[in-house]
A and B are shown apart, each in its own frame.
Chain A
Amino acid sequence: MKLHFFHLMPWPDLPEDFQRRYRSVWVDVPSHLYDPARGHQVYNDYLDELEYAAACGFDGVCVNEHHSNAYGLMPSPNVMAAALARRTQDAALVVLGNSIALYNPPLRVAEEFAMLDVLSGGRLVAGFPVGTSMDTNFAYGQVPVTLRDKYYEAHDLIMRAWTDPDVFAFNGKFNKLRYVNIWPRPLQQPHPPVWIPGGGSIETWEWCTRMDYLYAYLSYFGYKRAQAAMDGFWREVDRQGKERNPYRAGFLQFVAVSETDAQAEEEYAPAADYFYNRCLHVYTGFADAPGYRTLATVKSGLQAQVGQAAAQLRQGLSWKDFVDQGYIIAGSPTTVREKLEEVAKGLNVGHMMLLLHFGNMSKEQVMKNTTLFAHDVMPYLKPLFNEWDDHWWIRPLAAERRVVPAPPHARDRAGVT
C-alpha cells in the first residue's frame, strides 16, 4: 500500500467569527483577510512540512489547485511541485492536479507537467481534476454545461501531445492548434501515471475505468460516507470486466495521531473545527452551478461536497462525531493503524492520501503528527496489498542516474562581493 502526504495549504488566520461575518470562504472571500508577509511564512512552513514528510518515507507528496479562496492557497500547484522537486529525493510529486479545462491552450499543462517530470527525474503523478464549481465556473468563468466537454477535449489534446512523436494539427471544438509539438517531453514513457480526482460524478467512474486511470475519491466526509461512492466505482470496474486491483483507487483521509486517543482530541480538535467551520464555509450559491453536475449524478443522490446540504450534515458536529462518523481518523498509533487498515480494506484502496495538516494546525503539531505516523503507523500499513502490482505508479530514473541538486551557495563563498 502507498501512503501519501497531502497538503491543502489553507489560510490559517481566518477570524473566529468568520462564518458569521462572511458568506463564503471561496469566490468572494474578501482579500484583505490575506496578509502577504504572513503568507511568506505560511508557504515556507507548508513546504517544510511536505519536505519533511518526503524525508520520513511517505511514498508521495500531494498538492492541488484552487482559486479565489482561503481554503487552499495553490492557484498553481505546479509552482509548489517545482519547489519540491529540488528538495525531495524519492517521493512522488503527486499534483492532484491541474484543472485542464481552465487553460487556453491546455498544452500549458502538458508542458509544465513534462517540465516537472524531467526536473524530478520521472517522479510526477499527473492529476487531471475537473475542478470544483467554485474554481471553474465562478472564479474562472467557465460555462457549467460545457465544462466537461472542454475537460475531455483538453485531456485528449494533452495525452496526444505527450505520446505522438510527430507534430500534429488539433482541430477541437475549444482548441484550434495548427502545430502541436511540446518541448520538453515527459521523462516517464509513454506518459506519467494519470490520476483522476473525483468528488462522486458517476460519469467519471465509467471514463476512468475505461481509460485505466487511477480514481481518487476526495471527500471531506470520511470513509463511512465514502462507501457508497467507492462501491459505485468498483461496480463499474466489475461491469467493464477489469481487475479489482486496489491500486486503481485512491482515497483522501484526515488523520491525527498522538500518544493516546484523549491526547489526539485535546491537541487536534481545534484544527478540525477550524477546517470544517471556516475552511469549508462555502456559500451554497457557489457550491454547484446549474449544469456543473449532470442530472444523472444529481439524481443518483450522491452528496455534493460543499453547500447547504453538506453544511447541514456537519451542523453542530463535535470532535467525537467527526471521529465516530469517520471524518477524521484520530487517536493513538494503534487506533489509527487499525482504522486505516479497516478503511483500506473496506474501500479496497491502495493509495491513501493523508491530510496530516488540516485547518490551522501549527507547524509543531504537523511535525508531531507526521513523525508519529511515519514511525508508528506507516510500517504496519505498507505491506498491505503486496500481492498486487501497482500499474498506477511513477517510473523514475534509477537512483544513480538522478541528479542531486547542489546545496545552496553561501553568498560569501560565491565569489560575489
Chain B
Amino acid sequence: MERERYLLPVRGGIFEAEVYEYGDRDAEPLLWLHPSNGLMRHEYLDDLGARFRVIAPSHPGWGASTGLEQIDDPVDMAIYYYDFLDALGISSCHVAGHSIGGMFAAEIAALDPHRVRRLVLNNPVGLWRDDAPVLDFFAEDPVAVANAVFFDLQGAAVKALTPDMSDPQKMMQAMYERMQSFAAAGKFLWPIPDRGLAKRIHRISAPTLIIWGKADGLVPASYAQDFARRISGTSQVLILDRSAHFPMHEQREEWSNAVLQFLAAGET
C-alpha cells in the first residue's frame, strides 16, 4: 500500500503539519486523528487506505507538527483542522478519531456539521462521569496503564507495539517522544478530560459510528452510550469484545471491517 509523508503549511505558515497519507489520492478523503501517544504504529490505516484516501496528520505539538502554542483548547483545535482541510482543498470528508483524536473529531463535527460526512469516534475522551472516571494515565504506573489499555498483554498485537528497550538511545528517544506527546495532550486533558464538549456535541448531525474495545480501563466503554445519546444525528454503537483502548491493534480485522463498512454505507 502506498504511504507518503509530507509537511503542509497551514494558516499562512503559522502551523506546519506533518502528514501521512495512505491509499489512492483520488479516492474519497478520510481524516484520521491520532490518540495522545501520537501517530506511532499505524498499519491499520493500510486497511482503510484500500478504499479511501487516508490523511493522517500529527496534531500541532505532536511529532513534527508545530504551533501548539497557538491552540488553547479543543475549539481552537477544531478551527485549526478547518484550516488544515482548506489547505488541502477539501470542503468536506469523513472524519475518524481515536481517544483524544476522537475528542477533536467530535468537536470538528459539532462546530461545523457541514464539513463532516461520516464520523467515527473510537474510544473517544471528552465527557466525564464521576461514577466512571477516565484513568489518570499521566500519573498512573506504566504497568497499570498497560493493563488498562490492552485486553491481552501477552497477545501478538501488544508485543508488536512494545518499543525496543534494549537500546538505551532508542529508549531515551521513546521517553522524549512520550514526554512531548503527553505534554501536548495535557493541554486538552489535564487534570480532567472535559473541556465542554457536552455543551456542543448535540450539534453533530453526521451519521456516527461509536466503536469501543469492551475492556477499556482508560476510558470505560460505558461512555459509548453517553456519546450516542447526546449526538443528534443517527449513531450506532459497536463494542468489540476482545480488545480495550486499542481495538485497531488487538482486533484489527473486525475493527477495519466495521469502519470500512460504516463509511462505505455513505457512498453514493
- Give the chain B neighbours of A143 by CB distance below 8 A: 186-187, 190-191
One of A283, A290, A295, A299 near B186 (C-beta < 8 A): A290
Q: How far is the CB of A272 from chain B (nearest CB, A)?
A: 29
A381 at the interface (CB under 8 A from B): no
Please judge, given known A-B contacts A285-B141, A286-B139, whether A144 and B183 are in contact too, CB under 8 Å.
yes
Closest B residue to A291 using CB positions = B183
Give A143 to B185 CA distance when docked, in angstroms: 10
A379 at the interface (CB under 8 A from B): no
A285 touches B139 (CB 8 A): yes
- Give the chain A neighbours of B138 by CB distance below 8 A: 285, 289-290
- Give the chain B neighbours of A141 by CB distance below 8 A: 190-192
- Give the chain B neighbours of A286 by CB distance below 8 A: 139
Give A291 to B179 CA distance when docked, in angstroms: 7
A88 at the interface (CB under 8 A from B): no
A145 touches B186 (CB 8 A): yes
Give A144 to B182 CA distance when docked, in angstroms: 10
A295 touches B140 (CB 8 A): no
- Give the chain B neighbours of A299 by CB distance below 8 A: 176
A137 touches B191 (CB 8 A): yes
Closest A residue to B144 using CB positions = A285
Give A280 to B121 CA distance when docked, in angstroms: 42
Give A289 to B137 CA distance when docked, in angstroms: 11
A145 touches B187 (CB 8 A): yes
Q: How far is the CB of B230 from chain A (nearest CB, A)?
A: 25
B184 at the interface (CB under 8 A from A): yes
B179 touches A144 (CB 8 A): no
Please judge, given known A-B contacts A141-B190, A143-B186, A290-B183, whether A285 and B178 are in contact too, CB under 8 Å.
no
Instruction: Count residues of chain B with CB under 8 A from any CB of chain A.
Output: 19
B236 at the interface (CB under 8 A from A): no
Q: How far is the CB of B114 from chain A (nearest CB, A)?
A: 31
B65 at the interface (CB under 8 A from A): no
- Give the chain A neighbours of B191 by CB distance below 8 A: 137-138, 141, 143
Closest A residue to B183 using CB positions = A291
How would residues 270 to 289 of chain A score, 1 for a CB under 8 Å from any chain B CB and 0 otherwise?
00000000000001011001
Q: Which of B176, B181, B191 has the most CB of A within 10 A?
A: B191
A144 touches B176 (CB 8 A): no
- Give the chain B neighbours of A295 by CB distance below 8 A: 176, 179-180
Please judge, given known A-B contacts A285-B140, A289-B139, whether A298 and B186 are in contact too, CB under 8 Å.
no
A189 at the interface (CB under 8 A from B): no
Give A299 to B180 CA distance when docked, in angstroms: 12
A144 touches B190 (CB 8 A): yes
Closest B residue to A27 using CB positions = B139
Give A114 to B179 CA distance when docked, in angstroms: 39
A146 at the interface (CB under 8 A from B): yes
Closest A residue to B179 using CB positions = A290
Give A295 to B180 CA distance when docked, in angstroms: 8
One of B68, B139, B140, B179 near A138 (C-beta < 8 A): B139
Q: How far is the CB of A25 from chain B (nearest CB, A)?
A: 15
Give A290 to B187 CA distance when docked, in angstroms: 11
Q: How far is the CB of A384 from chain B (nearest CB, A)?
A: 41
Closest A residue to B136 using CB positions = A285
Given contacts A285-B141, A289-B190, A291-B184, 17 further A-B contacts (CB under 8 A): A137-B191, A138-B191, A141-B192, A142-B190, A143-B187, A143-B190, A143-B191, A145-B68, A145-B187, A146-B187, A289-B186, A290-B183, A290-B185, A291-B179, A291-B182, A291-B186, A295-B180
Interface residue ranges, B against A (CB under 8 Å): 68, 138-141, 176, 178-187, 190-192
